[in-house]
Amino acid sequence: MGATPYAGPSFDAVDIIRTKRDRGTLSADQIAWTIDAYTRGTIADEQMAALNMAILLNGMDRAEISQWTAAMIASGERMEFSGLRTPAGAAMATTDKHSTGGVGDKITLPLAPLVAVFGVAVPQLSGRGLGHTGGTLDKLESIPGWRANLSNEEMMRQLSEVGAVICAAGAGLAPADKKLYALRDVTGTVEAIPLIASSIMSKKIAEGTGALVLDVKVGSGAFMKDLEMARELARTMVALGKDAGVNTVALLTDMSTPLGLTAGNAIEVEESVEVLAGGGPQDVVELTVKLAEAMLEAAGVHGADPAAALKDGRAMDVWRRMISAQGGDPDAALPVARESETVYAPADGVLVGLDAMAVGVAAWRLGAGRARKEDVVQAGAGVRMHAKLGALVRAGEPLMTLLTDTPEKFARAREALEGAVTIAPEGSRPASKLILDRIA
């Protein structure tokens, strides 16, 4: 479905700004006109910036946020999966996952094929990394031949035949969001929960899946550092999904320390394949299984055993078909960084802290991430960790390996890691809980 043109009454942008400035409530028509007018350029950037700041300071009620999200969806096309069928002609339910971003967060890679094992289609539209958080497409593009850009027809065919697709979102989904996000980024209004929630949910609802599971990260390496603010964001997004008829659930998960033992692109693919082969770090396996269970339940599949599908190779089979369908070679060697440098444990004891933000920034500075959307990432760059929280370490033992093609980047990466490691006396236990809350 294409964009829905606005056909209601016209308003004055200054009046709308004043209404929200004075803690008033915007009507559905006012919101629809505002989003349409800004997308078309009738409302100037400085006017929308003022309105965004008023929303940040004064908030929106549930109806306003829902109407704002609906208007953003109406600015572009909406995908439709109700007619999706298997090659044998059976109807397929669809389910999707969105993570708010973290360090070492490669969960989408094993998760999409794992859910598809149980006959539920996973149309996973993903993005690229910016700053310290990695991008799913950047990781997958380290696989030789793999391509992110698919037509709608290619996507539908792959969902029918394979059951899972991870690809780039088309420019036609919620174009208002792209313009609004760029403005929020330069006007200090990114943190407004109504605007965060509508930004995420306008795209996810426009994707057209019947069920959605949100992985809302909390902690130093996440966008949301505070648990209560993360809960508010999760509740808001779950309500938006339900208002739009999408069965939506949110898990709040810890991002105070990196997920798994890798932060980069090719090295995260390598770790994901280990998980699909029945191994891999326990935290990555646990979160993959928990999210798979939530996605399947939301799609109406009860009693499934995703853990078994990881162990017995069924998820790996779907992964190989999914990668091959997009031109990738699942057996090809992954890129390896030309240079490496070791970070050693500073003392004996138990590793009780490894700051996610510090590791993410180090990986970014090594070349695994980008500062601007047009920057090129290094496929082999990143940080390989040799110990998880709770591990007993000895002074002088390797704690991390820094990887890059450009050795002049090592110094800045080491700077990012200063103070990132906390080692306590033997017998200490780190406080760690992966799943912090569930909101449905």
Of the residues 199, 202, 220, 272, only one is catalytic, namely 199
Collapsing DSSP to helix, strand or coil, 160 comes out as: helix
Interhelix angle 314-325/108-116, rounded to 10 degrees, is 110
Check if 311 is active-site.
Answer: no
User: What are the Cα distances from residue 282, in Å, to 135, 312, 328, 360, 432?
Assistant: 22, 17, 27, 20, 13
Q: Of 36, 96, 177, 215, which residue is the catalytic one?
A: 177
Radius of gyration of the chain (CA): 22
**Tokens linked to 105:** 């967060």
Q: Nearest CA to 317 among 344, 278, 287?
A: 278
**Catalytic annotation present for 433:** no
The torsion defined by the Cα of 287, 133, 338 and 409, in degrees rounded to 10, comes to -140
Catalytic residue among 20, 179, 184, 204: 184
Instruction: Say if residue 427 is exposed, middle or buried (CB neighbours under 10 Å; 0-12, 13-18, 19+).
Output: exposed
Angle, CA of 417, 218 and 108, to the nearest 5°: 90
Whether residue 238 contacts residue 249, with contact meaning beta carbons closer than 8 Å, is answered with yes
Q: Which position among 128, 132, 203, 384 bears the catalytic label?
A: 203
The answer to whether the CB of 106 falls within 8 A of the CB of 271 is: yes
Catalytic-residue membership of 199: yes
**Which residues carry out catalysis?**
98, 177, 184, 199, 203
